[in-house]
Structure 1
Amino acid sequence: MNDLGELNRSTPTGSADPVKALLHHHRDLCERAVDPLEIAAGLEAHGITDRTAARFRHRDVFSLAEELYARVPRDDAPPPPAPAATSPGARADWTVLTLLPGALCVATVTALRLTHGQTRLYVAATGILAVTLALRAALRRGPLSTRTDIPSRSAAATWTCWLLGYALLGDGLLGTAVTGGPDGPPDGTAEGDWPLTVAPVVALALSCAPAAWTARLFTARVRRRLASSRGLKDFSASVRPVLIGVFALFLGAVAVLLTVTSTLLGEPLALPSTLALGGLLFLARLLTIHGFTHAPRVILTITATAQATALATLFAARLPGCDALAVPVQTLTGTWSPAALPTLTCGVAALTLLIHASRRLARASAHISPERPR
């Protein structure tokens, strides 16, 4: 908006060629752009809207961008070759990488069921490390990779690990804590004093591949909408149904995977909590892919903190005179079940991110200028 204000002061009212002043102000953008769409997104990022475009004698920002693109001198050099990421070999690479976390998670669970005692401990540690490395690799290549410089050791990654850990251990700990337990550490089974829920974690690990394909589908559909739109409002209105569609498609894939894994592992179907967590993580990654990192980091932090606080109140209530601290969590779990806590926290967080994404990802600049910090 500061750029727009400077432009307003520098453009005389009634100028014979107002576009010339705009071209001078944004010459770097116009010279770097590979097509008019990139200029339109850049103008939008600087606060120029369809209404502002009327001051430059154009019906919308896209029409204005086409004139700016045409006015910049260009040589007749052939277009650059397609990026390596679009080649069949690169596509096969990221496809394999997105399948790897789920495959390793299934292998780890299988090995845990075939081992006992200290060997099971080694298998669990090795499996967790392998799945973590595979997931990290999957997030660095292909549709799930970011297009901005984001530190690898971020708060979002830390809280994501907490949420996945809670999906594995949280419900069991919460259920035993309400009744005065646990009396010991988890033994790696669903029947122990501190039971594990493995099926949701396996389903989410397997959902890495559907997440990549739906993210790729979203990007492709939005780019086509961007090419066919004739105004920023028209583009924004066309993006939101696409976002809702790919989000629902991903949740459907998670539901199928969870049903299969729960059946094979003989565990209850924890559908609401798993869908809430899966939707939250998918939306957080989708926003991060397009450079919007602040909201996912804040929402993930709040969600994980809420879950940790709920567990802490149960144990703090065991101190003399602190019984009242456990009442909210005991009421929630007594009315529904221990799964109500992750369903509520992750569901509210996912809904918040969905609303945020429907606003941020509906901007043309979110799909053309990935290098711009947000």
Structure 2
Amino acid sequence: MGRPNDPPAVPAPASGGGSATGHEPELGPADAPRTADGASGARTGGATAAVRAPEIAYHPARRPAARRGPADPVKVLMHRHRELCERAVDPLEIAAGLEAHGLTDRTAARYRHRDVFSLAEELYARVPGADRSEAARPPRPGPGPDTAARAGWTLLALLPGAACLATAGVLRSTEGVLGGEARLATTAVGALLVLLALRLCLRSGPLRAQADIGTVTPYVCWLLGYVVYGDDLLAQVISGGTDGHWTAAPAPLLGLALAVAPAAWCAHLFAVHARHRLAGSHVLAEFGAGVRPLLFGIVTLFLCALAALLLLADLGYGGDGAPVAPAALGVLLFLARLLAVHGFPEPAATGLAAACAVEVAAPFLVLAGRLPGLDLLARPVEAVVAVAGTGGVPALACGTAALGLLIHASVTLSRASAHATA
């Protein structure tokens, strides 16, 4: 029997040097073999520690995960828009094209750029095989400092007003001399001259549209015809029926023809100043915020010039009414042309068609209201006429359409893509 302080007995190892459980027993420092000097005889090179330590080996199969996505995202974008980058004459066209494809300043951050303009500058510099020198760049179309060109389209813009004014002068000077058929022939010839002059004006200069918008010609003809004969037509329909003789109001047509020149100059000023803002901007939001006040200022400037010309024309014919409806029509035509010039003919045609639809519907609603049980149809037209007269219908139609086009223009014309190629 052992002493109380003796440690418990350890079982003898099994044969083969293994432990009772079949595993190698763990050796403490006291169990290690001793050398002559009494030190522990650890295995040379620390072999025991190597066996006991967890194995951390290098496996060639364990490679870092491959980096997904392109290493140079700008290069991928350049290949995607290669045609745009190769035909661009400066970085502004690339920025406008990227914006037209839906790329914004926030999206440009994915390509490691703070905005679209800086991204466009890198794309412009990276296009291989292109001559980027200043001498190799073709002249940019659009408004420029050429005085002779400005004088040319200014004279063309004066032609419609001059032809209309000459026709009105002939009719006034021959009043009581020429018969009804002669006066009608003179009016037809004068109208033809005005249309030819207007066509020449719209084919060049600041009012030249990028695409063919001949589909709006019937709308414009109806609106101009209604501003001359529409008030008397509607008055006769409301009074009980037409008698076949309509009183013309040529003063609004004369004022609108004279306003073609201010419209051309306002369109020119808008294009020039918007282009300058585009060249000095580096953020799309900054450019849009600067162009919207410019658009509103240009429209206000044109409205002031148009109102003055309409008042002068009305005074020349002895009128004393406020030309609200012709002014609304003039602003509508100006905004429609401005949108078409900058590459948006569809909304322009939609606005003109909407105004025509209201003017066409007005007399038909009055006539339909005379049928039994349908008097409700004529009440909106009668209410407008009771408040603002017969001129209230075209004023409401053209004014509402012009407001819609102005809102649309404040969005579309504040984009860089509307000015880079204008």
Superposition pairs of residues 206-285 of structure 1, within 5 angstroms: 206-285=258-337
For the residue of structure 2 that corresponds to 1:230, the secondary structure is coil
The answer (yes or no) to whether the contact 1:63–1:230 under 8 Å persists in 2 is yes
Aligned mates of 1:13, 1:130 — CA distance in 2: 68
Which amino acid in the other structure matches residue 253 of structure 1? A
Aligned mates of 2:68, 2:250 — CA distance in 1: 67
Which amino acid in the other structure matches residue 160 of structure 1? V
Residue 163 of structure 2 is aligned to residue 108 of structure 1: no
Aligned mates of 2:171, 2:420 — CA distance in 1: 46
Give the CA deviation at 1:316: 3.8
Which amino acid in the other structure matches residue 234 of structure 2? L
Give the CA deviation at 1:40: 0.5
Higher deviation after alignment, 84-93 or 55-64: 84-93
1:125 equivalent in structure 2: 188
Residue 312 of structure 2 is aligned to residue 312 of structure 1: no
2:226 equivalent in structure 1: 166
The answer (yes or no) to whether the contact 2:92–2:279 under 8 Å persists in 1 is yes
Residue 242 of structure 2 is aligned to residue 182 of structure 1: yes
The answer (yes or no) to whether the contact 1:101–1:206 under 8 Å persists in 2 is yes
The answer (yes or no) to whether the contact 1:290–1:366 under 8 Å persists in 2 is yes
Aligned mates of 1:277, 1:232 — CA distance in 2: 32
2:388 equivalent in structure 1: 336
The answer (yes or no) to whether the contact 2:70–2:76 under 8 Å persists in 1 is no
Superposition pairs of residues 193-212 of structure 1, within 5 angstroms: 194-212=246-264
Which amino acid in the other structure matches residue 348 of structure 2? P
In the superposition, relative to structure 1, how do residues 50 and 182 fare at CA in structure 2: closer, same or farther (>3 Å)?
A: same
2:44 equivalent in structure 1: none
In the superposition, relative to structure 1, how do residues 82 and 151 fare at CA in structure 2: closer, same or farther (>3 Å)?
A: closer
Aligned mates of 1:30, 1:151 — CA distance in 2: 29
Residue 94 of structure 2 is aligned to residue 31 of structure 1: no
Residue 114 of structure 2 is aligned to residue 56 of structure 1: no
In the superposition, relative to structure 1, how do residues 355 and 162 fare at CA in structure 2: closer, same or farther (>3 Å)?
A: same
For the residue of structure 2 that corresponds to 1:47, the secondary structure is coil
For the residue of structure 2 that corresponds to 1:268, the secondary structure is coil
Percent of residue pairs identical: 53
Higher deviation after alignment, 126-135 or 312-321: 312-321
Aligned mates of 2:351, 2:329 — CA distance in 1: 12
Give the CA deviation at 1:151: 4.8
CA-to-partner distance for each residue in 1:19-53, whole Å, 9 max, x for gaps?
Answer: 11111211211111111111110111111110111
Give the CA deviation at 1:327: 2.8
TM-score, normalised to structure 2's length?
A: 0.78
For the residue of structure 1 that corresponds to 2:71, the secondary structure is coil
CA-to-partner distance for each residue in 1:317-341, whole Å, 9 max, x for gaps?
Answer: 4556655443322222122211110
For the residue of structure 1 that corresponds to 2:137, the secondary structure is coil
Aligned mates of 2:289, 2:347 — CA distance in 1: 22
CA-to-partner distance for each residue in 1:316-374, whole Å, 9 max, x for gaps?
Answer: 4455665544332222212221111011111111100000000011111111145xxxx
Structure 1: stretches of 5+ with no match in the other structure: 1-11, 186-193
TM-score, normalised to structure 1's length?
A: 0.88
Residue 147 of structure 2 is aligned to residue 88 of structure 1: yes
CA-to-partner distance for each residue in 1:154-204, whole Å, 9 max, x for gaps?
Answer: 1x111111011111010111122222243232xxxxxxxx32222111111
1:99 equivalent in structure 2: 158
CA-to-partner distance for each residue in 1:63-99, whole Å, 9 max, x for gaps?
Answer: 1111111112433454335759754333222111110
For the residue of structure 2 that corresponds to 1:182, the secondary structure is coil
Aligned mates of 1:206, 1:61 — CA distance in 2: 42
1:358 equivalent in structure 2: 410
The answer (yes or no) to whether the contact 1:270–1:339 under 8 Å persists in 2 is no
The answer (yes or no) to whether the contact 1:42–1:369 under 8 Å persists in 2 is no
1:189 equivalent in structure 2: none
Q: Of 204, 217, 227, which aligns to 1:141?
A: 204
For the residue of structure 2 that corresponds to 1:267, the secondary structure is coil
Higher deviation after alignment, 322-331 or 278-287: 322-331
Give the CA deviation at 1:251: 0.3
Give the CA deviation at 1:262: 1.0
